[in-house]
Structure 1
Amino acid sequence: MDTMRDRFIATTTQLLDEDPRLALVLAEISRDGFGRAERDHPDRVVNVGIREQLLVGAGAGMALTGMRPVLHTFASFLVERPFEQVKLDFGHQGVGGVLVSAGGSYDWPAGGFTHMAPGDVALMDTLEGWSVHVPGHPDEAETLLREAAAGDGRVYVRLSLQSNDRGRPVGGAGGFTTVREGADGVVVAVGPMLDNVLAATEGLYVTVLYATTVRPFDGRGLRRAAGARATADVVIVEPYLAGTSTGAANDALAALPHRILGLGVAREELRRYGQMDEHLAAHGLDPRGLRDRISGFLGG
């Protein structure tokens, strides 16, 4: 199976052929994959080099001329390093564009903490008007990318090497999808965390919701899943900073007594390279770690 990043390259290359409004701005990362697109569309495929602030500024400048820019590099260099440009050049100027990251929270542990961005979604959450997509499979990434490229708004698409075994229908209104139903609690699995959540909750009588769009947050879908219970127990499992969406869930359930457990990447920096699976286990995001914490929270 191809990766989400592979699918991003193939899909964007095709979209550049089809849509003269589309432009691609790179900062060296993934440039090799866009060789044909760069040759075919030299005026709309721009590599600025390792200059991430310029990456964002150039993309926003293109948007001011009426183009639809797609900006791409690792999440730590797309969101964290040029955050001021994201805030001002897109948000303050009121223009749209598509930010597509790679690397996730720890896709390449050997790259060290400079190439990890567990706080990217929380940081984007401080800005107004951004949609945030976290696909869990290359098929979902393609659908969300096509919708983002065809639109006019500000969109962040977070890609990862971690992937579920199969893709699920996504897009459209961006609401949560019910994968399992149960009465003992609600577990929201974000993007590539779904397979681990399903394994962890096997035999537990809980509702499992699947989210590939986390902003806007589907508060209505969460309230519907909570149902008419006197109280609601909710666990949110995210592949980035733990607790990123607990505030949004609290707001959605304000009229209902509830408890929320936010699971994700801990704030503690892991200072050994290891592999991605070892980072998942260290943060308790593997099936065993999730099982212990979810069942403990739900009291069973």
Structure 2
Amino acid sequence: MDTMRERFAAVTSRLLDEDPRLAVVLADIGVDGFRRAAERHPNRVVNVGIREQLLIGVGGGLALTGMRPVLHTFASFLVERPFEQVKLDFGHQGVGGVLVSAGGSYDHPAAGFTHMAPGDVALLDTLDGWTVQVPGHPDEAEVLLRHACAAGDDKVYVRLSTQANARPRPVTGSGFLPVRHGRPGAPAVVAVGPLLDSVLTATEGLDVTVLYAATVRPFDGATLRAAVEGADAAEVVLVEPYLAGTSTASVAEALVDVPHRVLGLGTARAETRRYGTVEEHLVDHGLDPRSLRERITAFVGRADRSGSA
């Protein structure tokens, strides 16, 4: 199976052939994947070098001319380092584009903390109007990328990962997908992107409803409300591949008139100061299936019914 980044380069290269409005802006990262596309479209595949603020500025400038810019590098260099440019050159200027990241929270541990961005989605939450996509499989990444590139002038962030679920789920670019059903009013577990398989393994035999989220912003409060309907006090567990608790405010807003409690699981705030492997980082942050089961079971306090996935 190809990776999400490989699929991104292949799909976006084809879209460059099909859509003269599309342009790709790179900051040295990912250049090889677009080498042939750059030969065909030298004016619409731009490498600005290791200048991430310029990467965003060029993208915003292209958007002001009516182009649909697609910007790509590691999440720490795409969202965190040039955050002021994201805020001003897209938000303040009122233009749209597609930010496509790699690296995520700990996808490349050997590169150290400079290449990790567990707070990227939380940071974008401080800005208005961003759609945030977190695919869990290369096939989902292709669907969401095509949707984002054709999405008029919207601001879209697509968070790619080296981690992937075993099989894709039907994603549409909006909303949550119920993949396991508990009894009416059972606790709801929202599994984001590549953590779905771990959540399904962790909740096997538990009386919970599992919702899959490949689109996390806008947050699908309606589907969450429907999932916990009938509970005297709703219980919600968020399992996110970035900073723990990033979406707890969204849950509170969705259930503002419903008694509820929420457990936010994800990457811890404390920095893991060892390189290690992705699998070791998952264990360290309590996101492996065994740790998830212990934490979810302790929160919901029951394990008496199997669901269907």
Task: Tell me the TM-score normalised to structure 2 length.
Answer: 0.96
Supply the distance in 1 between the matched residues of 2:296 and 2:161 (Cα, whole angstroms). Answer: 24
SS in 2 for 1:264: strand
Task: State the identity %.
Answer: 73
1:189 is aligned to 191
Report the residue type matching 2:171 in the other structure: V
SS in 1 for 2:171: coil
SS in 2 for 1:262: strand
SS in 2 for 1:288: helix
Supply the distance in 2 between the matched residues of 1:29 and 1:106 (Cα, whole angstroms). Answer: 17
Supply the distance in 2 between the matched residues of 1:256 and 1:96 (Cα, whole angstroms). Answer: 35
Supply the distance in 1 between the matched residues of 2:191 and 2:80 (Cα, whole angstroms). Answer: 24
| Runs of at least 5 residues in structure 2 that lack an aligned partner in the other structure | 303-309
Match of 1:201 among 193, 198, 203: 203
Supply the distance in 1 between the matched residues of 2:204 and 2:129 (Cα, whole angstroms). Answer: 37
Once the 2 structures are TM-superposed, how far is the Cα of residue 122 of structure 1 from its aligned partner?
Answer: 0.2
The equivalences for 1:289-300 within 5 A come to: 289-300=291-302
SS in 2 for 1:126: coil
Supply the distance in 1 between the matched residues of 2:44 and 2:105 (Cα, whole angstroms). Answer: 30
Once the 2 structures are TM-superposed, how far is the Cα of residue 51 of structure 1 from its aligned partner?
Answer: 0.1
Match of 1:241 among 237, 240, 243: 243
Supply the distance in 1 between the matched residues of 2:242 and 2:33 (Cα, whole angstroms). Answer: 26
Supply the distance in 1 between the matched residues of 2:172 and 2:208 (Cα, whole angstroms). Answer: 25
> Higher mean Cα deviation, 198-207 or 183-192?
183-192
Encode CA deviations 1:219-277: one digit per residue, 9 max, x unaligned.
01100001122110100000000000000001101111101000000001000000000
Once the 2 structures are TM-superposed, how far is the Cα of residue 33 of structure 1 from its aligned partner?
Answer: 1.0
Report the residue type matching 1:245 in the other structure: S
Report the residue type matching 1:33 in the other structure: G
1:231 is aligned to 233
Once the 2 structures are TM-superposed, how far is the Cα of residue 163 of structure 1 from its aligned partner?
Answer: 0.3
Once the 2 structures are TM-superposed, how far is the Cα of residue 143 of structure 1 from its aligned partner?
Answer: 0.4
Encode CA deviations 1:68-109: one digit per residue, 9 max, x unaligned.
000000000000000000000000000010000001100000
Supply the distance in 1 between the matched residues of 2:191 and 2:28 (Cα, whole angstroms). Answer: 32
Aligned length: 299
Supply the distance in 2 between the matched residues of 1:94 and 1:127 (Cα, whole angstroms). Answer: 12
Report the residue type matching 1:215 in the other structure: R
The equivalences for 1:4-19 within 5 A come to: 4-19=4-19
Supply the distance in 1 between the matched residues of 2:15 and 2:172 (Cα, whole angstroms). Answer: 17
Report the residue type matching 1:164 in the other structure: N
Once the 2 structures are TM-superposed, how far is the Cα of residue 46 of structure 1 from its aligned partner?
Answer: 0.2
The equivalences for 1:1-300 within 5 A come to: 1-151=1-151, 152-172=153-173, 174-183=174-183, 184-300=186-302
Supply the distance in 2 between the matched residues of 1:88 and 1:130 (Cα, whole angstroms). Answer: 13
Supply the distance in 2 between the matched residues of 1:106 and 1:230 (Cα, whole angstroms). Answer: 38
Encode CA deviations 1:100-131: one digit per residue, 9 max, x unaligned.
00011000000000000000000001000100
| Runs of at least 5 residues in structure 1 that lack an aligned partner in the other structure | none
Encode CA deviations 1:180-223: one digit per residue, 9 max, x unaligned.
01133110000001000000000101100000000000001100
Supply the distance in 2 between the matched residues of 1:10 and 1:160 (Cα, whole angstroms). Answer: 16
SS in 1 for 2:272: coil
SS in 1 for 2:54: helix
Report the residue type matching 2:164 in the other structure: S
RMSD: 0.6
